[in-house]
Structure 1
Amino acid sequence: MVLADVIKRWKQISGHEAYLATGTDEHGMKIQQAALGVEIPPKEFCDNNAHKFKDLAEHANISHDFFIRTTDQEHKDVVQQFWLLLKARAPEGLGLYKGKHEGWYCVSDECFYPEDLVQSSISPQTGRKIMVSKESGNKVEWVREDTWFFPLSKYKEKLLQFYDENPNWIQPADRMNEVRNWVQDHLEDLSVTRPAKRLSWGVKDPEDPDNTIYVWVDALVNYLTTSGFGTKWQVGDKDTGIWPADMHVVGKDIIRFHAIYWPALLMAAGLPLPKKILCHNHWTMSNRKMSKSVGNVVNPFFAVQRWGLDALRYFLMRNGNYKSDSDYANESIAAIYEKDLQANIGNLFNRIARVRKVAWSTIEAVEFAKAGRFGNLGEILSTSSPIFLSLEKSLQSLPEEIRTHMDQNQVNHALQHIFWLLQDTNRFVSETEPWKIVKEQDANARTRLNWVIYRSAEALRIAGILLQPVMPEKATQLLDGLGVKPERRTVEYARPDADLDYGTEAAIVSQKPDAFGSMFPPVAGIELPDFEVVAGMEGPKNRLGRVVLAMAEEIQKAREGEKWRIEKITMKINQNTAISTSKALLVPYEAHHVKQYHAWMQDPDIQEATASEPMTLDEEYENQQSWRTSSDKLTYIVCAPLTDDVSLVKAGTADADPLMRGDINFFLYPFESDDEDIETGTEGWATGEVDVMIASPSHRGQGFGQAAVCALLVYIQKHLDGILSEYGAKELKGLMVKIKEGNKGSRALFEKLGFVQKGEVNYFGEILMTIEWDEILRRDWWKRAEGEFKEVKYEMTLSLSFLFGSAASEVIHGAVVFSRHGDRTTKWYGAQSLTRLGAEQNFQVGRDYRDRYLASDSQYRILGISEDEYKPSQIFASAPDQGILMNTATAFLQGFYPPLADLDPEIASKTLNNGSESQAPLDGYQYVSLHTINDNSPDTIWIKGDDACPKYVTASKSFMKSDVFAQREEDTKEFYEQFYDVLSDGVYNLRPENMTYKNAYNIFDLVNVARIHNSTSPARNVSNADLLQLRTLADSAELGQNWNESDTARAIGAETLSGAILNQLNETVTSEGNLKFSLFAGSYDTFLAFFGLADLLDVSPNFYGLPDYASTMAFELFTDDDTDSFPSDPEADLRVRWLFRNSTAGDLETYPLFGTGEDSLPWSKFVTEIEKRAITDVGDWCTKCGAEEDFCAAYKHDDESAEGESENKTSKKGGMSNAVAGVIGAMVTLGVVAIVGAAALVIMRRKRTAPAGEKSSIRSGSTDGNAAKV
């Protein structure tokens, strides 16, 4: 609706009379079923929805002239008139005829699909084959019925001729090609009725009431109803009112109905066709199609209240495009809001029209122009200052380009050019500095000042006029603020010097203006969901506010209820439970089972028996994660029975690969009945499906299958309330199973249990067998199954030693880990934050190091470290006070020391001396101290030594000025130019001149992130070879900025980190192992610098490129014996090894440091080597950097006074000074708890030697390559 409204408003300010019609399509099977599901009449259901859509249109400021509902009686009358016109053409063979129809019908899409446009697919619910539409992906079913047909095939040549004569009828052109191909290759006669006994909710055939007119015929006729057909004019009249429509604005999912069916129907009725069809793409959420069932939908009322109406309209038009779907994300809206609206439009308006003292005014500047005071610019402006004319090119050319884009309906391109115009104007103001010109005393100073204000005001005025269709309220506010008369706000005035009769006196604001009173005030942070933001706003000031607040309160209550319900059933009910019987063991399906399961599924016989398609190993891992966390599935691996009576099964023991026999799954669906008498009272009913597979032929026929099914059903009965509650159902009505017709063994198994066949063999050669749930409990086998059933605890204890191999006889005494953050929002948007995926990655890394250093069964366990409960004296963690790095460390620490209740509920509760019980909050969440360092602290150098270091910046830029860099830039010029079309849309604002090696990392990052996160981005079309080339170039550019053997200033971040590492390891040694583990969270540039500094570049190709998200390096302090105490002679017995892990998917591998070729070094040799490379003194850093930070003054070296320093003086050596290090408690750590509630092995990119096309994830830098790097 917003796009249509923008186009209508544009036509109006361009001098055209324009009308907008919209409304609600209210008939059809979907509506009938939805109304039945909530047990209200269809008309009442439609009334409720129509009211919501009307409200939304009002609150979205949609300037519609007609709002039609297809249930309106006037419209139904017109539909029947049109229907009779189609029947009247029957004698010519061009009208309706009756016949029998069978084919693939999609209830969701409400249409039939020809055979060549359906395909088999895998149901995410069950993993079984289903048939789906190739276009929409929705499920189709084979249907046979009597129907009326429209002879669409007889209009093939007429349609093709029309397309040839009107090649631009559909925009964009690729949709025109799509439509033409459909007509050429897929045109079939169209079934245009449904039996009234199956579909009663619709317009009846006036001559054959047993048939209901096809919903799309009904819906399309709404355009004729709006235009007055049947009431104000008839076929053959010369005056047809506002018909034909100048444009239909439609979504890509309904282009076929509007571009094929509709013109053919109009041809049959003898009516003119619409003049143009504009087809837009869809909005996705988290790069997935929005779906209520998935939960990734946006409440538009909340979004409007949160961001402001015009800001939201601007975002939708700015980011929407006709090439691909666009992703809706609060992060993107916030970036647009801050960059385009606050920093660009709002900032320029404040600078020009809302000055802080009487310095200038737009009215004076315009009066100067009107009086011809700018006639001789050569005398007025300094010839040495071309900046005074630097805006002219943009001001003269961009408005015309903007008008062209708007006339071509390319609203996003128009807004991008408006952004550029105002961006150039802001730069013009900054460079000409009018606040300084005010103070100049020469004769032309006032004229120069007014020239700057006038040209800036002109850019604002033109932008304000052109922004009216998109932001009608804010554009009006802007134009009012400039004093532009209402009659001069049309497109003809949107050019320089077209209006010399506007302006206002200086609008004086306070020295500290109120940001919340500005045109684009501050908004809530993106970390909160919409409903929480609006619920926390001040009292509603309008009807929308009251509506939204009521909705937010309702959702909050529902969320609280949901939270309680989830706590009651512990999220995934079978998460920590195995099921044991005398014949089989069932364990939850976990990631370590996937490889064996994947091997099973390569067997063609199993694929045939289970109606499944083979998946890649990565797809199997993704599928396993999805199934294990879904509330509508229970998934188990069937294993050999336990040989002992135990109460605990540890993962990887009784369910090791050789003991796995197959799998069994339970799926829940909403209840459906073929009994027409059962239509109401079924809300909350569910049907379960059982799916069992015994993989190896040698294990079939031994009772594993029957034992597994019986055990699973007993488990379901015992936990039925929790299972139904988790799914959201009230009652389980029955079970079903689908079996291949020829699978006699499975049929016999389920017949024995009481299942009976229902219906005939389906399209896939399967039979359906069912049983009512109450019947199961009465079967003879039930009591035997109950007697054998036993639940045992299932514990995940796989450690990294399992993943990374075994160690020799040795003892770890301490470790220091440096970790890069996980996946994050790109720097190109401005503000950065850790994504949910990134938090999961860092959480996973923490959990992996927990398995290595804390697990009792790990050969790498740190001696004496507390396995479960956090001990402050043993752990040190630090991060700069940047949100992304603090959250990185916090997520890591959550995995390292998870809530105590996850480990042992008894630990989370303690009995005090007075006998009372103390229960830890949040299930024993552990508040691991995180020392944070701000930029004003000398401790900031240890983790981010290159920040605020002038000589690092100079050294880094020297690479960009080198001959090597210049040659690479020239050699890659054509290569980078090809990516402009990929990155020129959306919020990137990349111009052609940005597409060079200078932005190597930015370009790679934006393309790579889009490929990973946005399934509809043009970046998906970038080949693996090109992506590898982008990656290679980014690697070379970033390594060049952070390492050069002859200029170690580029590696200063690694030198200071080396000092911090040495300090922490030395603390472990001097405390005789009391400090056991240290964590630093930092950024990729420090990794690169360390690779060079530690002589690793020739050791492995891993070290020539950027480390992936969540990569880590670890320094381990160990002895080569198995003693249980700290060595008495550390220099003789202790050794240090260095390990690196690239991403969460790589192996933790040992590499030789400092060119020694040794996998580990004696402690004394390690200290000697790292001291050669480390900065261990703040004063040394200040001197080497030439830094002028405030703290550097206290660290100036003075040889004469150094000898007499007091012992009480703050140490200058490496380490964290407690006086300036912060401690992050509940406020920060709680903010991450919600993000990383569950861990998953997230594979971003394999080892550096992986083939092209593997996913990777690197930081995004600034255009000059010298921004702070994270």
Structure 2
Amino acid sequence: MYISYIDAQFMMLHTHMVQKPQLFGTTSSPFVLKDVCSPRHGRPLYVTTPIYYVNDVPHIGHAYTTIAADVMARFWRFLGWPTWFSTGVDEHGGKVAQSAKTKGVPTQSYVDHMAEIFKSLVHVLDATPDEFIRTTEPRHHHAAQELWKKLEQKGQIYLGTYSGWYAIRDEAFYSKDEIQDGKAPSGAPVEWVEEPCYFFKLSSWQEKLLTYYRHNPEAIRPKERYNETISFIQSGLKDLAISRTKLSWGISVPTHIGHVMYVWMDALTNYITVLGYPDTENEHYQTFWPHSVHLVGKDILRFHTVYWPAFLMAAGLNPPAQVFAHGWWTRDGQKMSKSLGNALDPFSLVQHYGSDAVRYFLLREMRFGQDGDISENAILQRYHQELKNSLGNLAQRVLAFIHQFYPQGVQSLENSFLDQDHEALQTWGRRALPYLKYCIEQEDLYGYIDLLQTSVQHVNGYITRFEPWKLRSIPEKALFLSQGLYSLCVFLRDTALLFSVVLPKSMSVLLEQMGEQGNISKGSYLRVGAPLSQGPWPKPHPLFGSSEE
């Protein structure tokens, strides 16, 4: 008997001990599926990307965050649990006004055009947000101004004069200690600004923020970003300038003519605008805000883990449940930039490789939270070795064999004795679900893919040893062969369901080739481990063609 094992490790999940599922070998399981994944035990998920700044066209970082958020949202919907996924664009600030001026177009026309480009990126990536917000929308102006008024009512804002360094590229204020060689820590050029402005009493929230994070260490992930935030807060918080008088393109301060809200205070409010703020008693807000997960790049960590929770706490609102800051991409070992001419256009990548391949590569190439490098060779290698020659090969060799020799399909033999390996194949998907859920909860998207891909590789090896082409000629093995093929198909169908959150297009095609509904709807986890569709099935064709197509 061929028995291979995926490395086993135990994880505590709520009150259940979840074991990373072994593909072959014992099928005993330390969890009860209905207790871990059923809708009656489901909790909501509100996952957001940053709202992307429209001073320039989308880049690979925008695609990366959007895909990650989409995978999380798709999996939560797959479980049938309440889900809200929001993305959008930030259309205010000095950089945007500068970009419009450079192009010689009215600022509103410019942002309208750019918003459509960012919306089209969502579409080509096959992302499925429930909300696409623009900060020029009236509802957002209302929400941001109401937040300002709440802070003012609570005595958190005062009038002063700002004299210091400001980086238009970052839309951020910096202290003199942070400026080196005339540049901000990000490398952005800075300019000296002197103007009357309103300040938020950020300094008074230093100890309150430290106390909050000490009691909620999971509120910032990964751990190094938590440590970075704590270190920044401990270094001393200074009151924050939150209005500008030398800028007109933005949301007006509601109680003071001539002042425009600081773009970050404006932009961050989007996360509660889409939930109906200032009405915090509505069902939508009450359902999702306590379960908010902000996915952001590590370059905007400070705004999300210091300024944003301080604004909210000062207004009498709860801070976000979690902020997860992911890493940066380099290309062939170099930082991507326009000046180097090595920036990657996500639209071109999708056009060349397909959306599934881009989604897969970006989440598979590095662990979410770390930095990574992207190259044409790396994309091709992942495409050929893991999508085409592993997952695609498994589907084709199993379904082509069945189409040729079992044109009416394979049937489950309910009363037959199940070989241990066959039982493992048929139960693997349901045993894997709680572990995959744990991966999503931990933002371990690499781990999610790794379990599925490793299992596919093991099953490819198993087929080589199972040798169905030889068993066909042995009459006494007919029952064993039929049950084995059925078990392989259950594994393949379940893998397609579980992989669909990462590879929605190709897995839809695979399910249809097995006579099943290609659409993954709310609560589709119930299809995992269910009986297969009756044959005959359509003639199969390769899921992944040439990467040049």
Residue in 1 aligned with 2:238? Answer: 188
The aligned length equals 482
Give the residue type in structure 1 aligned to 2:416. R
Residue in 1 aligned with 2:137? Answer: 72
Residue in 1 aligned with 2:486? Answer: 454
Residue in 2 aligned with 1:115? Answer: 176
Distance 2:329 2:285 in 1: 39
Alpha-carbon deviation of 1:450? 2.1
Residue in 2 aligned with 1:205? Answer: 253
Residue in 1 aligned with 2:504? Answer: 472
1:500 counterpart = 2:534: no
Residue in 2 aligned with 1:463? Answer: 495
1:246 counterpart = 2:296: no
Give the residue type in structure 2 aligned to 1:54. K
Residue in 2 aligned with 1:880? Answer: none
Which aligned pairs between 1:822-971 and structure 2 lie closer than 5 A? none
Residue in 2 aligned with 1:628? Answer: none
Paired residues of 1:358 and 1:506 also in contact (CA < 8 A): no
With over 3 angstroms needed to count, the CA separation of the structure-2 counterparts of 1:235 and 1:506, relative to structure 1, is closer
Distance 2:416 2:535 in 1: 19
Question: Which has more radius of gyration?
Answer: 1
Residue in 1 aligned with 2:455? Answer: 421
1:1022-1073 per-residue CA deviation (whole Å, 9 max, x = no partner) reads xxxxxxxxxxxxxxxxxxxxxxxxxxxxxxxxxxxxxxxxxxxxxxxxxxxx
Distance 1:169 1:203 in 2: 29
Distance 2:487 2:425 in 1: 8
Alpha-carbon deviation of 1:56? 1.3
Residue in 1 aligned with 2:470? Answer: 436
Tell me the SS of whatever aligns to 2:258: strand
Residue in 2 aligned with 1:373? Answer: 416
Higher relative contact order (CA 8 A, sep 6+): 2
Residue in 1 aligned with 2:268? Answer: 220
Q: 1:17 aligns with which of 77, 82, 94?
A: 82
Give the residue type in structure 1 aligned to 2:493. R
Alpha-carbon deviation of 1:483? 3.1
Distance 2:273 2:379 in 1: 38
1:1204-1247 per-residue CA deviation (whole Å, 9 max, x = no partner) reads xxxxxxxxxxxxxxxxxxxxxxxxxxxxxxxxxxxxxxxxxxxx
Give the residue type in structure 2 aligned to 1:322. F
Residue in 2 aligned with 1:1158? Answer: none
Q: 2:374 aligns with which of 328, 331, 356?
A: 328
Alpha-carbon deviation of 1:47? 1.0
Alpha-carbon deviation of 1:138? 2.2
With over 3 angstroms needed to count, the CA separation of the structure-2 counterparts of 1:373 and 1:225, relative to structure 1, is same
With over 3 angstroms needed to count, the CA separation of the structure-2 counterparts of 1:493 and 1:324, relative to structure 1, is same
Residue in 1 aligned with 2:303? Answer: 257
Residue in 1 aligned with 2:16? Answer: none
Tell me the SS of whatever aligns to 2:217: coil
Distance 1:261 1:252 in 2: 15
Residue in 2 aligned with 1:738? Answer: none
1:548-585 per-residue CA deviation (whole Å, 9 max, x = no partner) reads xxxxxxxxxxxxxxxxxxxxxxxxxxxxxxxxxxxxxx
Q: 1:159 aligns with which of 209, 214, 218?
A: 209
1:761-781 per-residue CA deviation (whole Å, 9 max, x = no partner) reads xxxxxxxxxxxxxxxxxxxxx
Distance 2:522 2:177 in 1: 56
Alpha-carbon deviation of 1:85? 1.3
1:883-936 per-residue CA deviation (whole Å, 9 max, x = no partner) reads xxxxxxxxxxxxxxxxxxxxxxxxxxxxxxxxxxxxxxxxxxxxxxxxxxxxxx
Tell me the SS of whatever aligns to 1:502: coil
Paired residues of 1:252 and 1:281 also in contact (CA < 8 A): yes
Alpha-carbon deviation of 1:462? 2.1
Which aligned pairs between 1:1117-1128 and structure 2 lie closer than 5 A? none
Distance 1:474 1:238 in 2: 33
Alpha-carbon deviation of 1:397? 6.4
With over 3 angstroms needed to count, the CA separation of the structure-2 counterparts of 1:293 and 1:503, relative to structure 1, is farther
Q: 2:524 aligns with which of 478, 482, 490?
A: 490
Q: TM-score, normalised by structure 2?
A: 0.81
Distance 2:215 2:109 in 1: 45
Residue in 1 aligned with 2:160? Answer: 99
Give the residue type in structure 1 aligned to 2:303. F
With over 3 angstroms needed to count, the CA separation of the structure-2 counterparts of 1:147 and 1:40, relative to structure 1, is same
Distance 1:238 1:56 in 2: 27
Residue in 2 aligned with 1:5? Answer: 70
Alpha-carbon deviation of 1:394? 7.5
Tell me the SS of whatever aligns to 2:84: coil
With over 3 angstroms needed to count, the CA separation of the structure-2 counterparts of 1:392 and 1:66, relative to structure 1, is closer
Q: Higher mean Cα deviation, 254-263 or 323-332? A: 323-332
Paired residues of 1:468 and 1:475 also in contact (CA < 8 A): yes
1:85 counterpart = 2:135: no
Residue in 2 aligned with 1:27? Answer: 92
Residue in 2 aligned with 1:50? Answer: 115
With over 3 angstroms needed to count, the CA separation of the structure-2 counterparts of 1:357 and 1:391, relative to structure 1, is closer
Paired residues of 2:79 and 2:524 also in contact (CA < 8 A): yes
Alpha-carbon deviation of 1:74? 2.3
Distance 2:244 2:143 in 1: 19
Residue in 1 aligned with 2:542? Answer: 518
RMSD: 2.7
Distance 1:217 1:292 in 2: 28
Give the residue type in structure 2 aligned to 1:470. V
Distance 2:234 2:100 in 1: 38
Residue in 2 aligned with 1:808? Answer: none
Paired residues of 1:361 and 1:503 also in contact (CA < 8 A): no
Distance 1:487 1:3 in 2: 19
Distance 1:238 1:392 in 2: 39
1:140 counterpart = 2:205: no
Give the residue type in structure 2 aligned to 1:405. C
With over 3 angstroms needed to count, the CA separation of the structure-2 counterparts of 1:478 and 1:238, relative to structure 1, is closer
Distance 2:282 2:354 in 1: 48
Distance 1:294 1:118 in 2: 24
Alpha-carbon deviation of 1:226? 0.9
With over 3 angstroms needed to count, the CA separation of the structure-2 counterparts of 1:362 and 1:308, relative to structure 1, is farther
Tell me the SS of whatever aligns to 1:168: helix
Distance 1:501 1:27 in 2: 53
Paired residues of 2:210 and 2:230 also in contact (CA < 8 A): yes
Paired residues of 1:353 and 1:507 also in contact (CA < 8 A): no
Distance 2:283 2:157 in 1: 24
Paired residues of 2:79 and 2:523 also in contact (CA < 8 A): no
Alpha-carbon deviation of 1:427? 0.6
Tell me the SS of whatever aligns to 1:279: strand
With over 3 angstroms needed to count, the CA separation of the structure-2 counterparts of 1:359 and 1:472, relative to structure 1, is same
1:483-517 per-residue CA deviation (whole Å, 9 max, x = no partner) reads 345679733554xxx312435336556xxxxxxx5
Give the residue type in structure 1 aligned to 2:276. G
Give the residue type in structure 1 aligned to 2:446. N
Alpha-carbon deviation of 1:189? 0.9
1:311 counterpart = 2:378: no
More helix by share: 2
Alpha-carbon deviation of 1:390? 9.3
Residue in 2 aligned with 1:38? Answer: 103
Runs of at least 5 residues in structure 2 that lack an aligned partner in the other structure: 1-65
Paired residues of 2:250 and 2:261 also in contact (CA < 8 A): yes
Paired residues of 2:79 and 2:522 also in contact (CA < 8 A): no
Residue in 1 aligned with 2:12? Answer: none
Paired residues of 1:363 and 1:504 also in contact (CA < 8 A): yes
